[in-house]
Amino acid sequence: MAYDDSDRGGPAAVPRLAGDQPDGSPIAVKILVAGGFGVGKTTLVGSLTEIQPLRTEENLSDAGTFIDEITGVEGKQTTTVAMDFGRIAIHSGLWVYLFGMPGQQRFWFMWDDLSSGTLGAVVLADTRRLADCFPAIDYFERRDTPFVVALNCFDGRGYPDLGEVRRALDIEANIPIVRCDAREGKSCRDVLVVLVEHAIDELTACSGAPS
C-alpha cells in the first residue's frame, strides 16, 4: 500500500483521479478516526468497513482502571490497544482505508505514523465528555490536517446544540461539525462525505486553484 509520505507535517497531496495510477493499481485514500476513549471509534470503523475489520481489542482489567479514564463509559468492557483498520471500495480503482487511532495518551506515540499521508480525519466526540477530543483537535490543527468533528449522539443522550459545541471547542468557523450514530453505516458515510468535501476545499485553497 503506497501512501504519499512526503509531507508528514501537512495535508496529503490531492489524490489523483481513480484509474490514474501508472501501474493500474487502485488509488488509496487514507482517512483517520480519532477521539477520546470510548467515544465510538472502533464502532464507527466497524460500521463502515466492507472487509472484516482489524481490531485490537483487549478486555479492560481492574489494573487498567487506574490508567484509563473510564468516567462516563463505565460499561465499556474492552479497549483498543493498537488501532482499528477497515476498507471501503468506492469502485475497483478507488479504495478508502480507515484507521482508528488509539485514544489513550499512552498510545499517542503512534499518531505520527498513522497520520502519515492522510487525506483527513474524523474527530469523534461525545458531548458528555467533550474535552476528551481536545488532544486530537490540537494535533490535527498543528499539522494542518483537514478534519471534521462528528458528535456521536449515543441514543440522543449526547444530543448537542452545534453552536454551543463550536464555542466550547473553539475551532475555526469553516471546520464542519456534524452529528452521527457510530453504529449506523449510512450516518457514518455521511460523515465521510462531509470530510472529503472539506478536505477538497482545504486542499484547493492551499494550492491556490480556483474552486
* Binds ligand GDP (CB under 6 A): choice among 5, 62, 74, 155: 155
* Residue 115 binding Mg ion, by CB under 5 A: no
* Residue 181 binding ligand GDP, by CB under 6 A: yes
Helices and strands of the chain, counted as H and E runs? 5, 8
Q: Sign of the C-alpha dihedral, residues 16, 19, 23, 29?
A: positive
Alpha-carbon gap, residue 59 to 62, rounded angstroms: 10
Choice between 42 and 145, CB closer to ligand GDP: 42
* Residue 152 binding ligand GDP, by CB under 6 A: yes
User: If you write DSSP's letter for every residue of 95-147 in order, what string do you get?
Assistant: EEEEEEPP-SGGGGGGHHHHHTT-SEEEEEE-GGGGGGGHHHHHHHHHTT--E
* Residue 128 binding ligand GDP, by CB under 6 A: no
Alpha-carbon gap, residue 101 to 208, rounded angstroms: 31
* Residue 40 binding ligand GDP, by CB under 6 A: yes
User: Of ligand GDP, Mg ion, none, which one does residue 102 interact with (CB within 5 to 8 Å by kind)?
Assistant: none
* Binds ligand GDP (CB under 6 A): choice among 15, 32, 42, 203: 42
Choice between 41 and 87, CB closer to ligand GDP: 41
Q: Are 156 and 126 in contact (CB under 8 A)?
A: no
Q: Interface residues with Mg ion (CB under 5 A)?
A: 41-42, 80
List interacting residues with ligand GDP (CB under 6 A).
Answer: 37-43, 76, 80, 103, 152, 154-155, 181-183
